[in-house]
């Protein structure tokens, strides 16, 4: 399934980055991992011992999935997955 995503990444130096885009996954977890892979290096083999813990919840109010990822030393991320083309234009960040 394809999703729109919005991700807020905070690294250990307290720098905050906000990204939006599209991702794909057979499950919401796969889609979150694909979004993280696109925007961070947390899932690279060199950081295997710091692999993120991902908690996903369903947000029925917005028909979305929310995920919190903690990389155990590299940073944290909050991800919102919405059905493809459901992310409002004013939420999108130009890359």
pLDDT at 27: 95
* DSSP code for 41: S
pTM score: 0.83
Residue 94 lies in a domain: no
Confidence tier at 52 by pLDDT (50, 70, 90): confident
Residue 93 lies in a domain: no
The 10 Å Cβ neighbour count of residue 54 is 17
Q: In the predicted model, is pLDDT for residue 87 greater than 90? A: no
Confidence tier at 95 by pLDDT (50, 70, 90): low
Residue 55 lies in a domain: yes
How many domains does one find in the chain?
Answer: 1
Burial class (CB in 10 A: 0-12, 13-18, 19+), 88: exposed
**CA distance between the termini of the chain:** 23
Among 10, 62, 93, which residue's Cα sits nearest to residue 80? 62
Residue 28 lies in a domain: yes
Q: What residue numbers bound the domain in which 67 lies?
A: 2-87
Residue 32 lies in a domain: yes
Confidence tier at 26 by pLDDT (50, 70, 90): very high
């Amino acid at each position: 399934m394809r999703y729109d995503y919005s991700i807020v990444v905070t690294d250990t130096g307290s720098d905050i980055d906000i990204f939006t885009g599209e991702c794909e996954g057979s499950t919401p977890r796969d889609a979150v991992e694909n979004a993280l892979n696109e925007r961070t290096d947390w899932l690279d083999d060199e950081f295997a011992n710091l692999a993120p813990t991902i908690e996903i919840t369903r947000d029925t109010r917005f028909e979305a999935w929310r995920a919190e990822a903690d990389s155990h030393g590299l940073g944290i991320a909050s991800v919102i997955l919405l059905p493809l083309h459901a992310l409002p234009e004013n939420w999108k960040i130009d890359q």
